[in-house]
Amino acid sequence: MSNKIITRNPFSGEVLKEYALFNDEEIKSILHTSDNVFNEWKKKPLKNRVKLLNKLADILHDQKVKYANLISQEMGKPYKESISEIEKCISLIEFYEKNAEMFLADELIKTDARESFISYDPLGCILAIMPWNYPFWQVMRFAVPTITAGNTVLLKHANNVTGCALVIQDLFKEAGYPKGCFQNVLATHEQVEEIITNDLVKAVSLTGSEKAGRAIAKVAGNSLKKTVLELGGNNACIIWNDADLDKYLQVIVKARFQNAGQSCIAAKRFIVEDEIYDLFLEKFKKALKNIKIGDPLHSETELATLARIDLAEGVEHQVTESIKKGARVVVGNKRDKAFFEPTILTDVTPGMPVFDEEVFGPVAAIIRAKDKEHSIQLASESNYGLGTMLFTENIDKAKKEITKIEDGAFFINEMVKSDPRLPFGGTKASGYGRELSKEGILEFVNKKTVYIK
């Protein structure tokens, strides 16, 4: 096994940089540093920890062009989407700067005691295992509330965005956080397992695939350590026959094709009522032709490459297998190295990969529903439970479907998206636990009952 990480620009194929993996002694030192820093960091008054958030946001704002370019170079995200990712991180920081003290304040509870309350105490060193598709956002939405709550953080980022990982570490250091409060570990899978089982690590947060989630949960479970798992999604986008397509079509298209479809919460299955199916398909095809494809570093580009060649090959395989089972290609289905052409498939039914699996690329599966009841039934026919979106003018009818959808999110007339003010997470094979909002900052704290007679 190589002891190096090599990052490549997926659009051009050029090598960006090489990094040496950490050896066992280096990782041991990092773990002890994290624990030592935690013992001091947790004693800092909460208001002092919160003050550092302002500097963190300022640096992100000042350096967003630099950071956006790095994102686009390492994983191929269109530049303007990379800029939006950094801006979203700033909004996250501002949210916790405003609300962290309220969220973490002792919660007084009236009992027969003289005084009783819940104290929210930090746990210690928390390991984060993060993916490449939103290399800043995924990390920051975990790290900002977790560190603000008084914990320290170790990050095992995806290898292909190692540059982003190191820049984020520098970002926290420049903002004035104690050295060791946020640290990267450039480690192998075997080393990550050893980190999880180390007594100095108190919990694990993973954003990644279902397969990775099961593996990490098993290792952490054997050590009786808490996990938060934000895994894959196979989100349904339901289109009822009264949907205002002229108003919402661009939102629907963006729900599938932003970040070249490489998003866990992207719309992947478009379930359309029979009466409007043909009209929707024609409008969807026309909209697809207007997407600007090109170099991710060009400001006008809306869709570029996938993040790696093997990922594009995986999407190609899922489409090919679905075609063998009866799916029909309406648009697209051409691959060139890491690029996969925006694709529309029809005649899609349960049992095909593009219906049953998470397709992490620019492929839209269009499914015909007999009626509204059938559309909800098809949407629910999934092992995943991250989010569902429904487009209709009948809001009252749509609200009656909320309890029928088991997912972690149900959006009406909007694409499923994360918002710092709202909890984010899934059910079933999409994982458990919540990020963002008050729930996110309380995931890695000891909710301690204090009782004074």
64-109: per-residue pLDDT in tens?
999 999 999 999 999 999 999 999 999 999 999 999 999 999 999 9
| 439-444: average pLDDT | 98
Arithmetic mean of pLDDT over the chain:
98
Which secondary-structure segment (H or E) carries 399?
helix 395-399
325-348: per-residue pLDDT in tens?
999 999 999 999 999 999 999 999
| 379-397: average pLDDT | 98
Q: Which domain holds residue 340?
A: 235-419
In a domain, 425, yes or no: no
Q: Are residues 377 and 281 in the same domain?
A: yes
In a domain, 424, yes or no: no
Domain of residue 80, CATH code: 3.40.605.10
Structural domains of the chain, count: 2
Q: Are residues 338 and 386 in the same domain?
A: yes
pLDDT value of position 229: 98
Tokens representing 93?
A: 């920081």
Q: Are residues 172 and 219 in the same domain?
A: yes
Supply the residues annotated as catalytic.
230
CA 146 to centroid of chain Cα atoms: 16
Are 209 and 158 in contact by the 8 Å Cβ rule? The answer is: no
d(CA 203, CA 328): 45
Burial of 169 (0-12, 13-18, 19+ CB in 10 A): buried
| 134-142: average pLDDT | 98
d(CA 312, CA 309): 5
In a domain, 166, yes or no: yes
In a domain, 406, yes or no: yes
pLDDT value of position 2: 75
In a domain, 273, yes or no: yes
Are 109 and 185 in contact by the 8 Å Cβ rule? The answer is: no
Give the rounded percent of residues in the chain with a pLDDT score beyond 70: 100
Domain of residue 266, CATH code: 3.40.309.10
pLDDT band at 166; cut points 50, 70, 90? very high
358-385: per-residue pLDDT in tens?
999 999 999 999 999 999 999 999 999 9
How many residues does this entry show for the chain?
453
Q: Are residues 217 and 73 in the same domain?
A: yes
Is the pLDDT at 390 greater than 90? The verdict is yes
pTM greater than the 0.85 cutoff: yes
Q: Are residues 203 and 243 in the same domain?
A: no
| 405-420: average pLDDT | 98
225-277: per-residue pLDDT in tens?
999 999 999 999 999 999 999 999 999 999 999 999 999 999 999 999 999 99
Q: Are residues 160 and 263 in the same domain?
A: no
d(CA 444, CA 56): 21
Give the rounded percent of residues in the chain with a pLDDT score beyond 90: 99
284-318: per-residue pLDDT in tens?
999 999 999 999 999 999 999 999 999 999 999 99
pLDDT band at 1; cut points 50, 70, 90? low
